Chains A and B, each alone.
Chain A
Amino acid sequence: MAESENIVAETAEKIFADLADAQTINSDKKGSWKAPLWQALSDAGLPLAWVPEDCNGSGASLAEGFSVLSAAGRFAVAVPLAETMLAGWLLAQARIASPDGEMTVAPASPKDRITLNANGTLSGRARGVPFAKAAKHIAVLAGGSNGFSIALVEAGACRIEAGLGLGGDNSDTVTLANVRPVAIKPAPKGFDQTSLMLMGGVARSLQIAGALESMLEISVRYSNERVAFEKKISKFQAVQHNLAKLAGESAAALAAATSAADAVANSIAFDDAFFLEAAAAKIRCSEAAEKGGAIAHQVHGAIGFTIEHILHRYSLRALAWRDDFGSESYWAVELGKLVADRGADELWPLVASR
């Protein structure tokens, strides 16, 4: 890891540790932690990490931004940090300057379509858009007769129906009815909806892997504290084996997600090898969220099922993140089709390509 990547990640870690401690947030029903947290993140330039300096951003590298997302996952941060980073990144693809404040991206699902009309307005509907209700602006990818365009849209110009995701964060339906964008430019050559979904998927993979790391940590700690049958439950072999499996799931998620992030950070060519990395990460991390989350809850017993306990902050978000930017089922079908299309003898060369 490069020196500077550490500094950006450490800054993020420090802000989360100071202002996004899971226990404090969990007991604060009014959400009074949100504003100071967002302020601190903004002051540190993290929401616009991926936006070049001449587009109003802080010009961090992709790798630096990814390490912020890992940290955000470890704290299961419930503000639109990942979303704003993705929005800024998307806008920067078309060299559109990012505004200040919370943003999100649309579409957030591979099947939803937003179109650019002949008169320059945008129409369409995007479901499951994370934090749309909290966003001031939305970065939109729209298809039109001349290929894809990237647009900056005011959230107020769209109809937003609030929805609630599994993790308790907003997951909203955004309808654009002839909305005139603040800015719009053509997407770079080759950039399409799959590119956006894969990038979003990598971000979610890192967040899921981070949440699993935390679930492993608090589960191990709990098993060393909780006493049953006159022993710490960590001394029971069945519990040890469950935790070993959780460690395996966490490790698999981490390996898949960091590998995909590294692939993006080092070559933004949206080729087969990148597709494999990003799709596989989303698939494997989502599977790990299911298996690992179940074990974390099992180890915690009933206390982990309460709203007072922090476990759900990680487990439910990890489960919710599976659905954003294409679920594991969706990507598995796409990856399976790609593999079938290339043919049996190309499978190993693809897997072993780096």
Chain B
Amino acid sequence: MTAALRFDPIRLPPECEKLRKEVRAFLADEIAAGTFDPHKPNREDTDAPEFSRRVGERGWLGMTWPKKYGGHERSFLERYVVTEEMRVANAPTRRFFVADRQSGPVLLKYAPEHIKMDILPRICRGEVCFAIGMSEPNSGSDLFAAKTKATRTDGGYLINGTKIWTSSAHIADYMIAIFRTSPPTKENRRHGLTQFLVKMKQPGIQVNPIGQITGQYEFNEVVFTDYFVPDDHVLGEIDGAWKQATSELAYERSGPERFLETYYVLTELVRAVGKNPDTRSAEGIGRLVAQLHTMRRMSVSVAGMLQAGKEPVVEASIVKDIGTVWEQQLPHRVRDLAAFVEENATNRETLENQLSFAIKTAPKLTIQGGTTEVLRGIIARGLGLR
């Protein structure tokens, strides 16, 4: 086969089911204690430091990392279960999620030992928040157009330029960012970018909030003026960030967070429809559940590939493409079906509020983390078309 796509039917092993029960019980306690309301996705949940620490205490951060860095040497499938339960419960995960999913693994691979020993255990304890500094005003999809400059100075680099759309930069302790250390070469326009660990809340960095159409403030403009980064904060090869970027994408792109962001409207629709749906509602719900189930099977399958040490870049891109298109359409399909819900459905107000928020959220879903168009380019490459 040209494509040779495989999605083996991985089943979650028994230890995952035990863990799932623990996570559910933990979340139920948090909800009971008033930490968050699972029916209100539209809160400002960027800052929930105590919740993060409690998640860390349970051993649910850095789950797959080595014990010597505070990790728990558990499987990707166990991490998968924790992620999906948190997501489905609408838990306030923003503060720790990026560090756990992406930044930690980058540090594990590329940071010097003393930095790993310093930061990784703190991530595992839920004490640090990370941001990702890739995009710039003229460099989004075309990452290699990034201009923010790192100029050599005594013992390190001086940074000048602007990052944009940086999620959580306003609460982050660190950012992993790419800066230009030399110009691109004729042969390779990807050359010349280097990955750095940046300490936030230091002189030389200004974080300016940018409002979103949902009414929330989650991403920012980050301006660097003669900001100093020491040599030991270089991550990986100088000028070689492009080689490092791709292998991490499989982690970022295939997880349950890539199809569950608007899931809550489906639960609320089922609640509003009640026990005896008409044919139209039943069919609509049935199709949505079948699609959801299929994506989850694909996503679990990719988690199985990661566990087996593979780098399923194409498969992960497919999951993100199908998953984000689905979660984007979901609120609109639910709206279609909700048009016929009884006026007096007990949760009608909750459903309407959720729909309004989910519909406002939807446009970003196929943009964040790489646009649909860019992903399809990656899939096309995997098919041997480019």
Contacts and interface: CB of A to CB of B under 8 A. Distances in A.
Interface size class of B (residues with CB under 8 A): 35 or more
A352 B20 contact: yes
A268 interface: no
Given A255-B301, A284-B290, A336 B5 contact: no
- Looking at B3, B8, B268, which has the most chain A CB atoms within 10 Å of its CB? B3
A241 B380 contact: yes
A7 interface: no
Nearest to B296: A351
B3 A336 contact: no
Contacts of A245: 321, 376
A354 B11 contact: yes
A220 interface: yes
Given A240-B377, A255-B297, A344-B271, A216 B286 contact: no
Interface stretch (B146-154, B276-284, B358-366): B276-284
Contacts of B287: 283, 287, 328, 332, 336
Interface stretch (A40-48, A139-147, A256-264): A256-264
Given A220-B383, A262-B9, A340 B274 contact: yes
B292 A351 contact: yes
B214 interface: no
B313 interface: no
A343 B275 contact: yes
Interface string B144-181: 00000000000000000000000000000000000000
A348 interface: yes
A337 B1 CA distance: 39
B290 A279 contact: yes
A161 interface: no
Interface in B334-386: 373, 375-377, 379-380, 382-386
Contacts of B207: none
A332 B282 contact: yes
B293 interface: yes
A221 interface: yes
Contact of A339 (B286, B321, B375, B383): B286
Contacts of B292: 351
Contacts of A235: 385-386
A341 B286 CA distance: 12
Contacts of B315: 251
A243 interface: yes
Given A241-B376, A252-B298, A340 B277 contact: yes
B298 A244 contact: no
- Looking at B268, B276, B375, B376, which has the most chain A CB atoms within 10 Å of its CB? B376
B322 A341 contact: no
Contacts of A248: 318, 321-322, 379
B377 to A, nearest CB: 7
Nearest to A209: B7
Contacts, number: 187
A217 interface: yes
A223 B298 contact: no
Contacts of B25: none
Given A216-B3, A340-B277, A244 B283 contact: no
B270 interface: yes
Interface string A320-338: 0000000011011111110
Given A241-B380, A337-B277, A251 B298 contact: yes
B385 A247 contact: no
Nearest to B379: A244
Contacts of A287: 287, 291
B12 interface: yes
Interface string B1-42: 111011111011000000010000000000000000000000
Given A244-B379, A280-B289, A220 B283 contact: no
B279 A335 contact: no
B294 A255 contact: yes
B285 interface: yes
A347 interface: yes
B88 to A, nearest CB: 5
Contacts of B85: 352
Nearest to A338: B286
Contact of B7 (A220, A254, A331, A334): A254
Contact of A335 (B271, B273, B290, B294): B290
A250 interface: yes
28 contacts: A216-B383, A220-B385, A224-B385, A240-B380, A244-B318, A244-B383, A251-B315, A252-B322, A254-B6, A255-B301, A256-B290, A256-B294, A263-B9, A277-B293, A280-B289, A328-B290, A332-B283, A332-B286, A333-B282, A333-B283, A335-B286, A335-B289, A336-B277, A336-B287, A339-B286, A343-B271, A344-B271, A352-B84
Given A234-B386, A332-B286, 19 more contacts: A217-B2, A220-B3, A224-B385, A243-B379, A243-B385, A244-B377, A244-B379, A250-B3, A254-B7, A256-B294, A284-B291, A331-B286, A332-B283, A332-B284, A340-B275, A344-B267, A347-B267, A352-B20, A352-B88
Query: A-B pairs with the 5 shortest C-beta distances?
Result: A336-B282, A332-B286, A336-B286, A344-B271, A240-B380
